[in-house]
Amino acid sequence: MDSFRFGNVLSLYYQAREKKQPSQLDLLDVWLPGLIVREVESNGNTKREAEYQDREFVIDAVRYHGSFYAGSSKRVSQITGRLIGTAKGNQEKERRTASLIQKHLAGELVTDFEVVTRLQETVKDQLSHLQGKAHEAFYVSLYTFIETCINERKGMDEYDRLSELFPMDDEVFEGVLYNAVYQLEQVTEDSIANGYLWLLLGTLLRNETGRLVRLYDSSFIPIRRQMSETNEVLDKLFYLLKPQAYQSFYEGDDLDQRFPGIEWYCDHCRAHLNEQEGFDDHVHSWKCRVCGYLNRIEFEEIYDNEEDWQNGIHRHGKEDFERALKQRLAEKGSKGNGSK
């Protein structure tokens, strides 16, 4: 995908500010301070070429007139070009080096939660420069960018996806976008910064972002979760953006539940799914937080008791369930006793 690139995400910010986008090294330093580019002493040579340090996965560079100086180092230029998304050449060594930086940085983010906190503050500080109409234009541009990336990926065949410079699994791509949109929908200073950070990290780290999707929720709180609302990213985003379009088949005091009164248990380890973080019975499948098994959340999976579940015996149809709901509504304070 040509659109889903780190540099493209950042161009939305600089366009909103009507400001020229910094050079590659400065761009990485501004948004990921100290993580990829490291300032070193010039030792009198203010135009010392930037060098990549293989064992440390960082680029050493000196500042010259307030900006990092790359010199004529083609290797550094190619590495940063691949990370940002501007280089499409055939230098396999530089591509592998960029891949190592991605892996290393993803590892830092999943082992040191303070790194994520620092990045959140960095992004929040940068976005504070956007005020009034500039902020509104930037906010709208993020949704346009997301839609463009979804449609572009949808039009790619499997070969194109696999032959990308840094291929992304569908699950990782969708997880990044879902988390970004979820945060953007909160429309607060912190949440917009979180949403933008998801886009920045997703485009920079590519498939390595999967480690973050599995470890963090959308606000970057480490709770070791894995999203699985539906199979299609457009369905996920539609439900997120237009929840009013999904109506329950009854009216009562549990409109937030699709199957009120039903307790769900994992088909593999029998863990209680209702108590798991983020569980919502409006989804059609749920990955157990305990064992990772993907459970179907459908009416056909509702049984009267454990024995019926083991023997695959359904004693009631949908009409019985709807009738029970109506009776429940008539009996204030009563709770259903169904189980899966």
Do 211 and 87 belong together in one domain?
yes
Per-residue pLDDT of the chain (340 residues; tens, 9 = 90+): 589 999 999 999 999 999 999 999 999 999 999 999 999 887 777 778 889 998 899 999 998 888 998 888 888 999 999 999 887 666 788 889 999 999 999 999 988 989 999 999 999 999 999 999 999 999 999 999 999 999 999 899 888 888 888 889 988 999 999 999 999 998 899 999 999 999 999 999 999 999 998 888 888 887 533 333 445 666 667 666 765 554 433 333 444 577 877 888 888 888 889 888 888 888 888 888 888 888 888 888 888 776 667 767 776 677 777 777 677 666 645 444 454 5
pLDDT of residue 187: 86
In eight-state DSSP terms, residue 8 is H
Same domain, 13 and 121: yes
Which residue range(s) make up the domain with 292? 247-330
Inside any domain, residue 339: no
Tell me what pLDDT residue 163 has: 82
Domain count, the chain: 2
What are the tokens at 160?
């194109």
What pLDDT score was predicted for residue 228?
A: 36
Answer whether residue 136 is part of any domain: yes
Kindly state whether residues 178 and 257 are assigned to the same domain.
no
Q: Are residues 39 and 115 in the same domain?
A: yes
Please choose, from the candidates 191, 175, 269, the residue with its C-alpha nearest in 3D space to the C-alpha of residue 229.
Answer: 175
User: DSSP letter string over 181-212?
Assistant: HHHHTT-SHHHHHHHHHHHHHHHHHGGGGHHH
Task: Give me the pLDDT at residue 189, please.
Answer: 92
